[in-house]
Each structure stands twice: as C-alpha cells, then as structure tokens.
Amino acid sequence: MCGIVAYIGPKDASPILLEGLQRLEYRGYDSAGVAVVAPVTKSAPAKLRLCKVKGRVADLAAALPARFKGGAGIGHTRWATHGVPSDANAHPHTDNEGRIAVVHNGIIENADELRAKLAADGAVFRSETDTEVLAHLVAAHRAEGGELEDAVRAALKLVVGTYGIAVLDAGQPDRIVVARNGSPIVLGIGEKEMFAASDVSALVRYTRQVVHLEDGELATVRADGFRTFTEDARTVTRQPSTVDWEVGSYDTGGYAHYLLKEIHEQPGAVERTLSGRLDERFATAHLGGLNLDARELREIRRVKILGCGSAYYAGEMGAQLIEELARIPAHSEPASEFRYRNPVIEADTLYVAVSQSGETYDTLAAVQEVKRKGGRVLGVVNTVGSAIARECDGGMYLHAGPEVSVASTKAFTSTVVAFALLALHFGRIHDLSPADGRRIVAGLKALPDQIRQVLEQQQEIEALAAEYAHSQGMMYIGRVRGYPVAREGAQKLKEISYVHAEAYPASELKHGPLALISPELPTVALVPDDELLDKNLTALGEIKAREGRVLAVAHRPIEAKHADHCLVVPKSEPELDPLLLNIPLQLLAYHAAVALGRDVDKPRNLAKSVTVE
C-alpha cells in the first residue's frame, strides 16, 4: 500500500530516501514526503526539516530545498486511506513543535478517539490522517522524559490497529525507532550505516543483509547497529538473512514499462517455479515445504483456495487443475469475502492461501480465521518471509522474482504453475496414472519455450490492441478451463486500460449478456482445441450473427464466419492450456493501455499491496 524508508549514517540522508521511495513508489503514489534531522551546529541544536507534497516522488524531488541536509531521515510514499491525497495529508506527520516525525503504513482504528483526547490536551492537528495521532502521542510521552523508544512503546500501547512505522526525534538525532504490527518493516545492515524500509526493494541497492521484524516488535536503529525488542521492552535477538533478489530486478531493464518487462520475464519465472521440483522418474512433483506427509495428504477430502483479485482467479485455475489431476473437490473463493460468512472449517479440508506480495490484508485475515478454527493452511506466495508466508503451516514459494508493476502477470503465471505441481503431487498419491503424470511433467517442462513463442507475437497483438482499445467495452468468454482465463483477461484489461470488460462463461451468453452484443462491444473468446471446441464455435456464430466483432485466442486458425481475428497459441496438455491462453491477453491489455495513454505501471486508484481491508 504505502512505502516507508529510513536511513541513518554518515551520508546525506535525502538522496538515499528519494532513491528508496522511487523503488517503493509502486506501492502507493498519490503523495510523498521526507523528514531529516539537520545536523547540530555551534549556534543551533538539531532540528527537524520536513518536505512533503501531493504527487509522485519526482514531484517531491523537485520540491526539495537545495540545502535539505541531515544524516538521519525517514520517507514515505502514500496511497490514501484516511483523507484525500494532499500536501497536508502526506507523511511524515509531526507534533505541535515539529520535533517528532512519523511515517506510517496501516490503519489506526481508534484514531478518532485518540485525536479527541489529544486535541483536548492541546495537540493541533494539521491533517485528516490517522497517522498524525501517533506523532502527538509520541511527543506527549517524550515530554515526560525517557528515551524515544520508551515514548514509542508507550504510544503504541494506546493504539488499536495495524502499523509499520518509523519515528524520528530532533531531540535524539542518533537514532530512528521503527515498529511493526501487521505491516512489514525490514532493517538493512550497512557499513557504519543502517536502513529500514517496508520492503526490501528499497534496500537492495545498499545492502543484502536484512532483518525482518515480527509483529509486536520494535527496533532502535543507529548508524553503528540496531537493537530489537518487544512492546514490553524485552530484548529479542534477530539474526540477519541475505536477500537473493538482484538490484536489476527493480529496473525496467530497457523495456518501456515494468509490466512489459514482467510479461517477458515469464519463461524464466516459470523455470524457477519448476526448478528442482519435477521428478521424471516417478512422474510426480517434489514439494519440500508442504510440511505434510503422504498419509496426511491422502486424508484430505477437499481443497479450498483463498486469494484476492488475480490471485483468486489463479486459484480458480488451480482448483480446476486439482480436480482434474487429483480428483479432489477444489474451489477458489475471494479471501476478502471468506471470513465474513463465518465459514465452516473442516479438518479434512486443505486451505491454500495465494498471494504474490504475501501482505494482502484480506488474505492474511482469512488465513488467521482458518487457523483460529483449527484448519491447516498452505501458502502459495512469491515474497519470501512475508506475513502470509509466515502465518501458513507450509507451502510453496513461487520464486518468480520481484513483481513491481501493479498489475500481476508473472506471479499469476507462476502461481498457476505452482498449482499444477501441487495437483500433480496430489494426483500421483491418488489415482493419476504414471503415464498421465509423465504427460503433465513433459507439458510443464515445455511451457517456458511455448511462452516464448507466444511472446514473439507481440507486434501482431499490439496492432490488434490499437484496433480494439477504443471500444466502448469488451466481453471475454471461455468455457470450463477457459472461463478463469476470460476472468483474468477482463481483469487485466480493465485495471490498466480502464476499458470496461466483463467475463462470462460462453455457455451463459444466451441467458442474458447476448443482449449487450453489438459492433461497439467486441468479444475476446478463448477457443482451445478441446472437447468443447464445437460448442465454443457455436457461441461465436451467435455473436457474429448479431454483428459482434470477435477476437479469438485458439490453438488453430478460426474461420472468418466465427471470428474477425485469431491469435494462435501453442497447444499444451489440455489441463495446462489455460496458462498459455492467458499470455496474449496480458499483451492485449498492456498494448491497449499504452494506446490509450494510460499510466501502465501505476493505474489510477490501485496500489500493489493492499495491506488494509
């Protein structure tokens, strides 16, 4: 959602903060700000300097005064939750005297109540944010004496909600205090300098040695080291770990956008998801992190997949794979709805949480609800060490590499590949024959090259996108395996191009949506070469008869009487076909968004990690 970065050391903090914020901008991009402690001089004590603006990090950089110097600083890029995007609502927030500065990710649920009490005691509020109460609370406790960390601990004891925070105090410029509860904070260890951020992407340029704080933990960060402790001031020892993501993963690498780069990274991402997990001899998959033995797996009667947005659609493809290969009933459900219907949690159901970021609050809360009621949850997660990964009983990492563009592409594909591995593993301890197992193993191995073949059609897809982008809206249709592909295709188009798109099972057209069909509302149709081919062609005939335009994605050219245009993708095994059918739809959405001049990597109103409800 929002991004936090902090630096303390011998260098000038502001360029480091700005660089970090630029890397975090994908998380939130409606306003940004920094605060530094200006160095002590003979004539003046240490002083806090603040600069914050509505707009992007580039606007902040332009607004920064030339002499904005300080060796300790905190920064924030915001995605508004409390209060509109504005200079005043941008973080950092300060107390009356401007001595304490706070940046915050998350939501303070009792902010109104705290604000009323603080205002009665003389606090002057300058923003509509929940975060500002934290600055006043910390200042109030600091006024009572003691160290900054004690004041932060005391303030947090009064707060209900989620937070990742960094606090700077002009009175103690030798330290920054950070805290985590439900919103990540990671420390970066440098040479006589220290960093902190909400996400390792802001740190990898400077250090690979990181420490992830746990919920309920705080840290005092000084240039020469750090100390971690609990809200009750108990010291905890945290060992640093090494980040293996390359700094280059956070650059566009010569592509026009991160989204295009990430679409093109898919062959490599799939190779990494598969790496070391395929067992050709026994025609199965090895999944070391499930923490379930074969007997426990055999006792599972049902699989329930939970995720939000594209993760939910990837789960729909996953459910289909599990039912087809393992013949275990499987279903995907939006995690955002799940816990509100008081779900029945069954001991013989395996729950699987899907999340690229591993931070999505709705998915995390769904996992916690399942666990509270005694269920067992596996995570299919991209971000190592993320909140969801840590909350789950076991699972699989995608190893897709960092995904920066707001819209998910490579993580989506890797998630479906991970489900194919899980389904294969399940299948082979149930009824899936060795021959069918071998067929799936071979199909999975062929995927990276087949994805490359689809990507080679980029120019053709770009030309089609230019033609279809200006439509009033788009219909996406598919049947059975093709339906989740249609849903994900429509989602991609609407989120980055803002063209309205709806997905329907092709079989449902006659039951309502056929009324929408006209030359202004073209249809993207998934037409795999499978047992439903004839039925799909009949649906296309019905659309054409009503003057609807059709762009088919198929395994062989489709006749003009059924489609105006056709993109042909390589055939995989039928169960794996959805993976390849989805790739042209990513490129179609991307090029439509570019043709319409959209901000492809940072679509309006959206943020990469949705860490609030």
360 binds ligand F6R (CB under 6 A): yes
Within 8 A by CB and 6+ apart from 352, the residues are 303, 304, 305, 306, 315, 318, 377, 378, 379, 380, 395, 422
By beta-carbon distance, which residue lies closest to ligand F6R? 309
32 binds ligand F6R (CB under 6 A): no
Angle at 453 between CA 451 and CA 459, to 5 degrees: 110
Residue 351 CB, shortest distance to ligand F6R, in Å, is 15
Q: Which candidate in 492, 571, 602, 608 is catalytic?
A: 608
Residue 425 CB, shortest distance to ligand F6R, in Å, is 22
Judged by CB under 6 A, the chain residues 289 through 308 that form the site for ligand F6R are 308
Cis bond upstream, residue 85 (ω within 30): no
Q: Which is nearer to ligand F6R, 199 or 324 (CB)?
A: 199
Q: Which is nearer to ligand F6R, 195 or 312 (CB)?
A: 312
Segment contacting ligand F6R by CB under 6 A, of 243-251, 261-269, 350-358, 511-519: 350-358
User: Can you name the residues that pair with 176 across neighbouring β-strands?
Assistant: 168, 221
Known catalytic residue: 2? yes
Q: Residue 324 in 3-state DSSP?
A: helix
Residue 310 CB, shortest distance to ligand F6R, in Å, is 3
Residue 610 CB, shortest distance to ligand F6R, in Å, is 5
355 binds ligand F6R (CB under 6 A): yes
DSSP state of 499: -
Within 8 A by CB and 6+ apart from 340, the residues are none
149 binds ligand F6R (CB under 6 A): no
Instruction: Give residue 238's identity as a one-letter amino acid code.
Output: R
Q: Residue 541 in 3-state DSSP?
A: helix
**What x-and-dash track marks residues 468-497 binding ligand F6R by CB under 6 A?**
-----------------------x---x--
Segment contacting ligand F6R by CB under 6 A, of 154-162, 224-232, 272-280, 356-364: 356-364
Q: How far is Cα 227 from Cα 177, in angstroms, rounded to an integer?
A: 10
Pairing of strands 194-197, 3-8: antiparallel
Closest alpha carbon to 306 in 357, 351, 370, 369 = 351
Q: How far is Cα 611 from Cα 603, in angstroms, rounded to an integer?
A: 17
Residue 357 CB, shortest distance to ligand F6R, in Å, is 3
Q: Which is nearer to ligand F6R, 81 or 363 (CB)?
A: 363
Q: Contact 48/37 with Cβ under 8 angstroms?
A: yes
**What x-and-dash track marks residues 494-533 binding ligand F6R by CB under 6 A?**
-x--------------------------------------
Known catalytic residue: 608? yes
Query: What is the 3-state composition of the chain as percent helix, strand, coil, each rounded to the nearest 5?
Result: 40, 25, 40
Within 8 A by CB and 6+ apart from 184, the residues are 164, 198, 199, 212, 213, 359, 386, 387
Residue 594 CB, shortest distance to ligand F6R, in Å, is 16
Q: How far is Cα 388 from Cα 396, in angstroms, rounded to an integer?
A: 12
610 binds ligand F6R (CB under 6 A): yes
Judged by CB under 6 A, the chain residues 403 through 422 that form the site for ligand F6R are 407-408
Catalytic residues: 2, 608
Residues near ligand F6R, by CB under 6 A: 308-311, 355-357, 360, 363, 407-408, 491, 495, 609-610
